[in-house]
Amino acid sequence: MTVKATSKLRRDNGLLLDIRNLKVQAVVYSPSEKPREVTIVDGVSLQLKRGKVLGLIGESGAGKSTVGLSPMGYGRGGVRITGGEVFLNGRDILKGGVRELRRVRGSEVCYVAQSAAAAFNPAHRLMEQVVEAALLHGVGTRAEAEKRAQALFTKLRLPDPKSIGCRYPHQVSGGQLQRVMTAMALCSEPDLIVFDEPTTALDVTTQIDVLAAIKDAIRDTGVAALYITHDLAVVAQVSDEIMVLRDGKMVEHGETRQIIEAPRMDYTKALVSVRSIEHEEKEPTPKPLLSVRNVTAAYGGGAVKVLQDVSVEVHPGQTLAVVGESGSGKSTLARVITGLLPPIAGNITFAGRPLAPKLPHRSKDDLRELQMIYQMADVAMNPRQTVRTIVGRPLEFYFGMRGRERDARVAELLDEIEMGKGFIDRYPAELSGGQKQRVCIARALAARPKLIICDEVTSALDPLVADGILKLLLRLQKIEDVALLFITHDLATVKAIADSIAVMYRGEVVRYGSKTQVLTPPFDAYTDLLLSSAPEMEVGWLEHAIHGRRMESAGN
């Protein structure tokens, strides 16, 4: 009772959260080295008024999640808050000890995790988990809490708000689960919610719904929020203020509009201007390099059709972007082209010759001229091989290069991907995310391919790094005259690099043509949904987009 009483008192001056000079450290134990302290967050201060939303933005490793968790007095994985003060409702929660923290967590501050699927206990029904914190902190009886939860489900526009609580986590979609988690956070009527990348794992078309639901819920309940994300366009929609973090230090802090429209620091400018790649669209040639004709493919011996009557063409030296949300069959298309999944109907022609449907029947030249780059660079490379072997193996395998000749060519390729000499003897674990993806690109280039399939190559990377990778791919395309088949769900990427676009929806190509054709109205319903769902760096875009939509998202 005392807690609630003090919080009532503080409600007047309006200041909810006051973090002063926060310092967070962790001890790193690397093998055969003395344990050493690293500073993750260094001297960050922030203030948050009631009902306001502060966006914390930065690349991975910037310390944004660590700052975000500090109002709960929580350090992830051995991380400790070693300095500074965190005032919540006017008292320093770091001074109160474990008992005090338990009273804060789940009642005054709640948390919404990035992966709702991993954050829910799969063995319990949703309702039990949603009302758990409210019951534990004695906010009300079970009946009251469940009533409030149902009201929140309605507010968050979940289907069937009366009975959805009886389902188990696996029985609802990813976007719905994320909204249930938001309901869970709101259920105990906290003063502050920490959103940790709540929409990052979702499709664009689903993201917009979740985003709108979260925004409405914040406005209606008057809760304050810390919104952590790496996507500036997303944070611009929901927050009142934005704080840019880098390497555990604050770079810039200001009103959302000021950060987006008139950033002061160079780093913020770089973040805002990301994806401003100039690419001139090329006309299709009379003779396509790869043509996929009426391909139908299925898993489970024809039981589940994942591709239906798909026809696309890739022209020499050009880029075809295949766009769609997860489950649209775009990665399956790559598997069919590479021969990993033989189609049940249709055929594929590559460089003027028919391509055998099954991988073992393809000639070495077919394999060499068709390379692939994966989404997850760290599992696409053998962790036990050095860069020398990873990039050198295709040279050995396809061209019979050995010894010094091979090493010279590897060095040349590393040069092409803008990585210096020091990298040849490194293992993948010794490279950063962007460097790993570059090495994968070098491995594909080593085979001197005519076509490279890029399967979501930038979606696991930070925006600035992804930008570098895209620019590199475009430059290499010019030098090596290689065609790219670019699979992605990110429309900003597509606009930046494509010559032609195929939009896929539920295993079918719904729109296909040159970039200008596809991106010029009139649109079909799905393309319209997809285009209008891609967040734009503009205040007020979200409301505008929600009103302008013609079709509900499928994964919703």
* 32 belongs to the binding site for another protein (CB under 8 A): yes
Nearest to 57 by CA among 278, 325, 277, 265: 265
Q: How many residues does the chain have?
A: 556
Please state whether 534 falls in left (phi above 0), alpha (psi between -120 and 50) or beta: beta
The residue within the footprint of another protein, chosen from 39, 82, 338, 432 (CB under 8 A), is 338
Under DSSP, the state recorded for 423 is G
* 300 belongs to the binding site for another protein (CB under 8 A): no
The residue within the footprint of another protein, chosen from 74, 399, 427, 541 (CB under 8 A), is 427
> What CA–CA distance (Å, rounded) separates 307 from 343?
9
Where does 438-547 show beta strands of DSSP type E?
451-455, 483-488, 500-505, 508-514
Q: Which stretch binds another protein (CB under 8 A): 208-216, 296-304, 379-387, 469-477?
A: 379-387
How many residues contact another protein, by CB under 8 A? 33
Bridge-based pairing of strands 241-246 and 53-57 is parallel
* 428 belongs to the binding site for another protein (CB under 8 A): yes
Residue matched to tokens 């990035």: 114
* 379 belongs to the binding site for another protein (CB under 8 A): yes
Neighbours of 285 (CB within 10 A): 12
329 vs 449 by CB, closer to another protein: 449
Q: Which stretch binds another protein (CB under 8 A): 39-47, 197-205, 219-227, 384-392?
A: 384-392
Q: Which stretch binds another protein (CB under 8 A): 123-131, 190-198, 337-345, 487-495?
A: 337-345
- Per CB under 8 A, contacts with another protein among 41-60 are none
Cα dihedral angle (216, 196, 433, 458), rounded to 10 degrees? -10
> What CA–CA distance (Å, rounded) separates 552 from 549?
8
Q: Which stretch binds another protein (CB under 8 A): 5-13, 97-105, 383-391, 412-420?
A: 383-391
* 401 belongs to the binding site for another protein (CB under 8 A): no
The residue within the footprint of another protein, chosen from 7, 39, 279, 397 (CB under 8 A), is 397
Could you tell me the smallest distance in angstroms from the CB atom of residue 377 to another protein? Answer: 9
Q: Are 290 and 315 in contact (CB under 8 A)?
A: no
The residue within the footprint of another protein, chosen from 31, 286, 300, 354 (CB under 8 A), is 31
Could you tell me the smallest distance in angstroms from the CB atom of residue 372 to another protein? Answer: 6
Q: Are 229 and 200 in contact (CB under 8 A)?
A: yes
> What CA–CA distance (Å, rounded) separates 333 from 485?
10
84 vs 339 by CB, closer to another protein: 339
The residue within the footprint of another protein, chosen from 20, 362, 388, 409 (CB under 8 A), is 362
- Per CB under 8 A, contacts with another protein among 157-216 are none
> What CA–CA distance (Å, rounded) separates 532 from 327?
19
Angle at 193 between CA 192 and CA 195, to 5 degrees: 150
Please state whether 287 falls in left (phi above 0), alpha (psi between -120 and 50) or beta: beta
Q: Which stretch binds another protein (CB under 8 A): 265-273, 357-365, 456-464, 478-486?
A: 357-365
30 vs 276 by CB, closer to another protein: 30
> What CA–CA distance (Å, rounded) separates 280 from 238?
34
- Element holding 136 (H helix, E strand): helix 126-136
* 447 belongs to the binding site for another protein (CB under 8 A): yes
Helix/strand/coil for 396 = helix
> What CA–CA distance (Å, rounded) separates 463 from 274?
7
Neighbours of 15 (CB within 10 A): 15
251 vs 390 by CB, closer to another protein: 390
* 541 belongs to the binding site for another protein (CB under 8 A): no
The residue within the footprint of another protein, chosen from 2, 5, 12, 33 (CB under 8 A), is 33
The residue within the footprint of another protein, chosen from 87, 195, 374, 512 (CB under 8 A), is 374
Q: Which stretch binds another protein (CB under 8 A): 231-239, 367-375, 458-466, 483-491?
A: 367-375
Question: Which residues would be at the binding site for another protein (CB under 8 A)?
Answer: 30-33, 338-340, 359, 362, 364, 367-368, 371-372, 374, 376, 379-386, 393-394, 397, 427-430, 443, 447
